[in-house]
Structure 1
Amino acid sequence: MKEIKDPESRAIELLSQMNIEEKMGQLVGYYPKPYSEEELEREYPHGAGQVACFAMREMKTLEEIATHQRMIQDKIMELSEHHIPAIFHMEGLCGILIREADGFPSGIGRAASWDPELEKRIGFVVGREAAAVGASMVLAPVLDISRDSRFGRQGETYGEDPVLAASMGTAYVEGIQEKGVNGLRAAAAAKHFLGYHNSQGGIHAANCDIPYRLLREVYAKPFQAAIRKGGLKTVMPCYSSLNGEPVSASREILTGLLREEMGFDG
């Protein structure tokens, strides 16, 4: 009888069989606008690791959306030497961005309810609807702490209090990741790690100057709760630099702080 290996062992074995071109193929994302089989074959000869679902917003029926996702996924697996499926990601802050999906208030509005149990139920709906159309990553919740109203995306957050944001955000993560559809379960992608809303002058993607203690006790707190209590699967780095270092290129922040200190293993 064939040995059944755990996911981590299977991943390590698969990596050992992949060449550098295949591995690099898993690091790129595909944005179909619209989908072109010729473009996919030409630009992504080894498949793709991620596919953006933004084009689904323009489709009129759920059947069209599901067919679109399946067609792209089949082609990406055909191009991949080891038939690796892509992760389809979709925005999910106020519900998934397709027609006929349920819509909910923004993060700042839901935070005003002070009701984590309701937030978990909302997350459950969002996760199920995403999985039903083939999206396995929901780009939510926003766990940024917002204390500067000049920042234009304040409405996405749960506000200024790290305890409230931690409670609501963890509940949303648990709801999204609770149950799948036909074997596919969506993963929550908490964002934007870290300190994103504390930028200079409230300017999007500007540098954030945040002292060591404030960074951990306020801005990292909701992420830590979502990781430890909610089993958070994925994290989106912020677009800013933090204390002069671009976050998306920072080993200190994404490995030292996030993985080694905070225990994130997604």
Structure 2
Amino acid sequence: MSPHSNPAPWQDAARPAAERAGEVLRLMTLEEKVAQLYGVWVGADGSGEGVAPHQHDLAEEPPDWQGVIAHGLGQLTRPFGTAPVDPAMGVQALANSQKEIAAANRFSIPAIAHEECLSGFAAWKATVYPTPLAWGASFDPDLVERMAAQIGSSMRRVGVHQGLAPVLDVSRDSRWGRTEETIGEDPYLVGTVATAYVRGLQSAGIVATLKHFAGYSASRAGRNLAPVSAGPREFADLLLPPFEMAVALGGAKSIMPSYTANDGVPATADPGLLTYLLREEWGFSGTVVSDYFAVTFLETLHGTAGSAADAAVAALDAGVDGIVTDNTEGLRQVLMRRGAWHDSTGGPVGDR
């Protein structure tokens, strides 16, 4: 576009963001909308040394890059954190990828790059900060907020947009293998410290992602991904308050559902949790992004979906907005086949 030509309506920075987004949505085809729903993990390690449950089972061969980005791309998964990457080379590689993504789709939309950042930006040569258990032990939310701002600043400088932290799971059983990621056993302490982390990270321009909504740490017998049998009183008094605090007081912009099932209902496919409670009661207006492979797990682990198509539709209908890493090509195909699925505007996703 010539610097002297008028910008397209969605590129006009003088217009409100919601108006610009609405204009893009109105013009997008079904396939272009679907492309914004999923992410790709180009660097996923299939050796078994992965960072996500069952990653060695589910990581695909490197995708056809030009095919993946042909209609746009929602998320880039861990461009810095999957393997050691020299920071200067990583910045250039990410910038090049974003240029290719923007050039390949009609609306010049780049992808959201996300990274892990709980105890620091999880990338080679980045600073490592104390574990969340130490945050809680400090009883110093102001210090945690300053720490998170530094973490966010380091991520922002290399082109990352979203951080998959903090963890707001209240510690319930020390046998649980992810207890080191928790802040403590007291819901108020967890909520206060985590809210400070959210404010700090987002002050640097990085979207904070609350994890894992909700009940993950109360899994049966302390096993990872095990069912959660907490009753409504325990759930409301102990497990939900930190998330509500971070939404109401911290302004958190993203939430990630838990892998676990609460009373038999997987969180990733629970409209009561993701729509009625989160959005309607709490007024959350950000995005809900699935955990790695969580949509596939609805079929393969939970057994609540009979196919990949059923799993994808169940998650989206429940309130999931983005599938950050999953069976990308399979997901794209099943969503295209289920083109009657409706978006948040009330019309079919494919309406022009």
CA RMSD of superposed structures (Å): 2.0
Is contact 2:119-2:129 (8 Å) kept?
A: yes
Alignment-mate amino acid for residue 223 of structure 2:
I
**Alignment-derived partner of residue 182 in structure 1:** none
Q: Normalization by structure 2: what TM-score? A: 0.70
CA displacement 1:70-103 (0-9 Å, x = unmatched): 1111111122221111110000001011222111
Partner Cα separation in structure 1 for residue 143 and residue 228 of structure 2: 33
What 5-or-longer segments of structure 1 have no aligned partner?
180-184
2:26 & 2:89 partners in 1: Cα distance?
A: 37
| Match of residue 15 from structure 2 | 5
Looking at structure 2, the residues matched to 37 and 75 of structure 1 have their Cα atoms a distance apart, in angstroms, of 17
1:237 alignment partner in structure 2: 257
Q: Does 1:65 align with 2:90?
A: yes
Measured against aligned partners, the alpha-carbon deviations of 1:172-225 in whole angstroms (never above 9, x if no partner) come to 00000113xxxxx21111100001111111111121122223222221111111
Q: 1:214 to 1:133 in 2, by over 3 A?
A: same
Name the counterpart of 1:140. 165
TM-score using structure 1 length: 0.92
Distance 1:54 1:22 in 2: 23
One of 134, 144, 147 as aligned partner of 1:109: 134
Note if contact 2:215-2:239 (Cα within 8 Å) is conserved in structure 1: yes
Whether the aligned pair in 2 keeps the contact of 1:117 and 1:171 (CA below 8 Å) is: yes
1:256 aligns with 2:276: yes
Paired with 1:255 and 1:150, the residues of 2 have a C-alpha distance of: 31
Distance verdict in 2 for CA 1:162–1:78, change over 3 Å: same
Partner of 2:74: 49
1:16 equivalenced with 2:10 (yes/no): no
SS of 1:88's partner is strand
| Structure 1 pair 37–68 and aligned structure 2 pair: CA distance change class (3 A) | farther
The question of whether the paired residues in 2 share the 8 Å contact of 1:123 and 1:176 is answered with yes
* CA deviation vs aligned residue, 1:106-134 (integer Å, no higher than 9, x gap): 11122111110110011001111111111
Q: Partner residue of 1:151?
A: 176
Structure 1 residues 117 and 55, CA gap change in structure 2 (3 angstroms): closer
Distance in structure 1 (CA, Å) of the matches to 2:13 and 2:181: 46
Give the Cα separation in 1 of the matches to 2:32 and 2:233.
41
**Identity value in percent:** 36
Q: Residue 227 of structure 1 aligns with which residue? A: 247
Of stretches 41-50 and 235-244 in structure 1, the one that deviates more from structure 2 is 41-50
Q: State the alpha-carbon separation in 2 of the partners of residues 72 and 64 from structure 1.
A: 12
Please, which of 106, 116, 141 is the counterpart of residue 81 of structure 1? 106
Distance 2:95 2:87 in 1: 12
